[in-house]
A and B are shown apart, each in its own frame.
Chain A
Amino acid sequence: MSHSLAYGIPISWFLTVGAMLFCIGLFGMMVRRSAIGMLLSIELMLNAANINLVAFGSYLKLPSIAGQVFAIFVITLAAAEAAVGLAIVINIYRNEQHIDADKISVMKM
């Protein structure tokens, strides 16, 4: 109980921020046509998750840095993902001269 207000801020605030960020990312994911935009949205969602992880890590019964370590892994993963994703997008652009995700329905080039 004492930990829930360790910093004077209840956990729900963090979670609300995380949820809002996740919803923005999700919305972007669903409505953006550009593949670049979709990648950006994914970054938003991943960061929403990071906020949650860090928040949970601090508010556990036994506070640990596990949440923060997890977040660092996620950031690393996101970097790698962005690199692979952008490489794919560049390749798509070279072949199709656009990066409109709606129109990319054929796997075979």
Chain B
Amino acid sequence: MVQYAWLIPLVPVAAFVLIVAFGRRLPGQGAYVAIAGMLASLVMSIGIALQWFVFGGSNVGLYNHSVSWMPVGNTNINMGFSVDSLTAVMLIVVTVVASMVMIYSIGYMHGDKRYPRYFSYLSLFSAAMLALVIANNILLMFMAWELVGLTSYLLIGFWFEKPSAMRAAKKAFLVTRVGDVGFMAGMMLLFITTGTMNLFGSEGAFEHIATHPSQMNALVHVGPWAIPLVGLIGLLLFCGAVGKSAQFPLHVWLPDAMEGPTPVSALIHAATMVAAGVYLVARMYPVYLSDPSHIALTVVAYVGAFTALFAASIGIAQNDIKKVLAYSTVSQLGYMIMSLGVFGYVAAIFHLMTHAFFKAQLFLGSGSVIHGTGTQDMREMGGLKKKMPVTYWTFLISTLSLCGIPFVTAGGWSKEEILTVAYHTNPVVFWAGVLGAFTTSFYMFRLVYMTFHGEPRDHKIHAHESPKVMLVPLIILAFLAIFAGYVGTPFHNSFEHNMAPVLGEQFEGILEHNLDMIPHGFFMPVFLIGTFAALLGIFFATLIWKWHVIKIEKLEPAFGWLAKIVENKYYIDEIYQATIIRGLMLAAALLYWFDKWVIDYVIVNGVGYMSLVLARAWWWIDRNIVDGLVNLAGWITGTLGRGLRYVQTGVTQQYVFLLVVAMVIISLVFVAGNYSEVSWIPPITGFFH
């Protein structure tokens, strides 16, 4: 089974090609083709997961297969795929969420004028994302990485008639590109250092890193800092993750990306693509582990922790339902990144998986709400609980999962695991995580109360429950939001058992060495603190928005200024506008001026003018000297001809006379030559005595 894993991304590619070629003529206007392709990939992924986790394939550690791609100089770059536990988990996550989102989209996108195109983009995205996770080669991974960026751009700007969607797409594309520059630099540095693009195997980069510690730990001076080479590679690769996973300071694109269709937000901007950054760091984890100074991991940890807290705080003050979820996504991605930074490798992947399910569900649920009410503003909603019961209950389950309610939800298990690791490795990160958990449950229950509880605030809106085709994915994902967590409970952590061999023996040893102070099994203090934080957040939200014990109006004078800052997202966009964008504009204006006056005017026009002057001079020379020489030759020939005409009399005696005269002259010359010292006349000697 596993040797056919390369088919998994190819099936959606085929669906994409079919939809592009035939569009509306396909069954279901292309939707059924896309879904069929995705379900085929899902079945294959399940097969791989069964083989890997149930039938003990993970004991193999890694299936790796390459074919030669392009020989470059002395190196041969391979292309291939690999399957290990990390890949198997990612395959399941991507195919499950993509299938659900596609099915849901039949209802959500019903009647859209670019319906087939939407499904072709979704297929292409899924293909690229699947290729990204099974690639065994960092170059191939980068290509897939850029391809998901492209499809993300296309889907954010799917309704490109809206200027805001167009701008958001552009912003997402450009902001992630900033991080990708770092990724690319890291990739090149890795290639220069290890001489290979392959990650695995005896020739792979990881093996090289493991066997050449002195080369890898050589200090590189970057500005005032001296960083080990491998740490620098890790930091550069992390730039890519910061862009893709919307970490501070490149988080600004993700909330704007909510301009795309809501199922797209669920698939790309919540569950899969944004998790690609986390996946990248996890995939390249040996790079981070092999640096004894752990500088890259420290940066990863603090960026993640800061983002988790920072984005969660913005989530409190947003009124657009999707914006709240977007900031929640940024915050949860920060959680995963933070977990990777404090050696919580398994916990991060676990949280990636559970988050993908419940956050996809939340987005699809919010899409259902938007579909039913026609607005995204939570202030206009309220009281939807009765009108949309299925949406409400599934949404509530996922919300609880996101808040990390223990025992009954998937998010509870993964959050506890992250916090447990952080508790033992870095207290700052741990408390940031706890505060983030508190904030998360606070703003999520604010969202739930504002949307579903109380009385309808806008009576013009006649909400209705969504069609079945949208509800079924909600139910399936809500189911996963509860039960996906049971693979990784602290009591019987089969997830960790399967995931640990991914790194290979040596790096697994380093990881375990850093984690050896963590007790196995259930850890009570963290469980209590985490649960208390979550419940406290829910409690405060309930006080304010459910029971109205604390009136918002009363908080206004004390916290108004703070709320304003938070509501405006700490003015990050404005700061970027004022500094980076304005700076770029100024630089562009300067360059424009330089182009116009120096390049165009002085150089280009100067060259033109000089050419003209030279051409004039040349014209004169041509006209007077060259032509004059030609005419002179003609004139000489003509004159000579005219002169010699008189010789041709036709009188024989004259010819004879001239002949004789010439003979006499020539004879005289020769005779003179014989008796003189004139050298150029050959003497006639030797014949006679």
Residue of B nearest to A32 (CB): B653
Q: What distance in Å separates the Cβ of B674 from its nearest Cβ neighbour in chain A?
A: 16
Q: Interface 1/0s, chain A 44-63, versus B by CB < 8 A? A: 00000000000000010100
Q: Are A61 and B689 CB-contacts (below 8 A) given A26-B660, A30-B660? A: yes
A65 interface residue (CB < 8 Å to B): no
Contact of B651 among A26, A31, A38, A102 (CB under 8 A): A102
Contact flags B632-669 to A (C-beta < 8 A → 1, else 0): 00000000000000000111110011001000000000
Interface string of A16-49 (1 = CB under 8 A from B): 0000000000100111000000100000000000
Interface residues on chain B, number (Cβ under 8 Å): 10
* A30 B651 Cβ-Cβ under 8 A: no
The interface residues of chain B lying within 8 Å CB-to-CB of A1 are: 689
Q: Do A30 and B657 touch (CB < 8 A)?
A: yes
For A107, the closest partner residue in chain B by CB is B650
Q: Within 8 Å CB of A38, what residues of B?
A: 652
Q: How many A-B residue pairs have CB under 8 A?
A: 23
Chief secondary structure at chain A's binding surface: helix
How far, in whole Å, are A12 and B235 apart by their CA atoms in the complex?
Answer: 116
Q: Which A residues lie within 8 Å of B689 (CB)? A: 1, 3-4, 61
Residue of B nearest to A106 (CB): B650
Whether B660 lies near A101 (C-beta < 8 A) is no
Report Cα–Cα, A29/B651, bound state, in Å.
12
Q: How far is the CB of A107 from chain B (nearest CB, A)?
A: 9
Bound form: Cα–Cα A90–B267 in Å: 120
Of all chain A residues, which has the CB nearest B651? A102
B653:A29 contact, CB within 8 angstroms: yes
CA distance A59 to B687 in the complex (A): 10
A105 touches B660 (CB 8 A): no
Contact of B652 among A59, A61, A101 (CB under 8 A): A101
Q: Which of A30, A101, A102 has the most CB of B within 10 A?
A: A30
Contacts of B652 in A (CB 8 A): 38, 101
**In chain A, residues 58-104, which have Cβ atoms closer than 8 Å to a Cβ of chain B?**
59, 61, 101-102
User: Within the assembled complex, what's the spacing in Å between the Cα atoms of A29 and B659?
Assistant: 12
- In contact, B653 and A105 (Cβ under 8 angstroms): no
Residues of A within 8 A of B660 (CB): 26, 30
A105 touches B656 (CB 8 A): no
When each residue 678-689 of chain B gets 1 if its CB lies under 8 Å from chain A and 0 otherwise, what string results? 000000000011
Report chain B residues within 8 Å CB of A4: 689
Are B657 and A105 in contact, with the CB atoms below 8 A? no
Nearest A residue to B657, CB-CB: A30
Q: Nearest residue in A to B660 (C-beta to C-beta)?
A: A26
Q: For the complex, give the distance between the alpha carbons of A38 and B656 in Å.
A: 11
Once the chains are docked, how many angstroms separate the CA of A100 from the CA of B650? Answer: 13
* Whole-angstrom distance between the Cβ of A38 and the nearest chain B Cβ: 7
Q: Which residues of B contact A31 (CB under 8 A)?
A: 653
Q: Which residue of A lies closest to B650 (CB)?
A: A105
Q: Which of B650, B651, B652, B660 has the most CB of A within 10 A?
A: B652
A101 to B652: give the CA distance in the assembly, Å.
Answer: 7
Task: Digitize B489-511: 1 where CB-to-A-CB distance is under 8 Å, 0 elsewhere.
Answer: 00000000000000000000000
Query: Which residue of chain B has the shortest Cβ distance to A31 in the bound complex?
Result: B653
Residues in A whose Cβ lies below 8 Å from that of B653: 29-31, 101-102
Closest to B652 in A: A101
CA distance A29 to B650 in the complex (A): 15
Q: Is the CB of B656 within 8 A of A30?
A: yes
A102 to B654, CA, bound (A): 10
How distant is A49 from chain B, measured CB to nearest CB, in Å? 13
Q: With A and B bound together, what is the CA distance between A3 and B689 in angstroms?
A: 9
Chain B residues positioned under 8 Å from A102 (CB to CB): 651, 653
Residues of B contacting A59 in the complex (Cβ-Cβ under 8 angstroms): 688
**Chain B 307-330 interface residues, beta-carbon cutoff 8 Å to A:** none
Nearest chain B residue, comparing its CB with the CB of A2: B689
Task: Give min CB distance, A19 to chain B, whole Å.
Answer: 11
- Please, which residue of chain A has its CB at the minimum distance from the CB of B663? A26
Kindly state the separation between the CA atoms of A28 and B178 in the bound complex, as whole angstroms: 111
Q: Determine the distance from Cα of A39 to Cα of B397 in the docked complex, in whole angstroms.
A: 139
Contacts of B650 on A, CB cut-off 8 Å? 105
Contacts of B657 in A (CB 8 A): 30
Closest CB of chain A to B478's CB: distance in Å? Answer: 121
What B residues does A26 contact at CB under 8 A?
656, 660
Hey, which chain A residues are within 8 Å of B688, CB to CB? 59
Report Cα–Cα, A31/B653, bound state, in Å: 7
A105 to B652, CA, bound (A): 9
Beyond A30-B653, A105-B649, 11 additional pairs, beta carbon < 8 A: A3-B689, A4-B689, A26-B656, A38-B652, A61-B689, A101-B651, A101-B652, A102-B651, A102-B653, A105-B650, A105-B651
Subset of 18 A-B contacts with CB under 8 Å: A1-B689, A4-B689, A26-B656, A26-B660, A29-B656, A30-B653, A30-B657, A30-B660, A31-B653, A59-B688, A61-B689, A101-B651, A101-B652, A101-B653, A102-B651, A105-B649, A105-B650, A105-B651
B interface, CB within 8 angstroms of A: 649-653, 656-657, 660, 688-689
Q: Which 6 A-B pairs have the closest CB atoms?
A: A105-B650, A30-B653, A29-B656, A101-B652, A30-B656, A30-B657
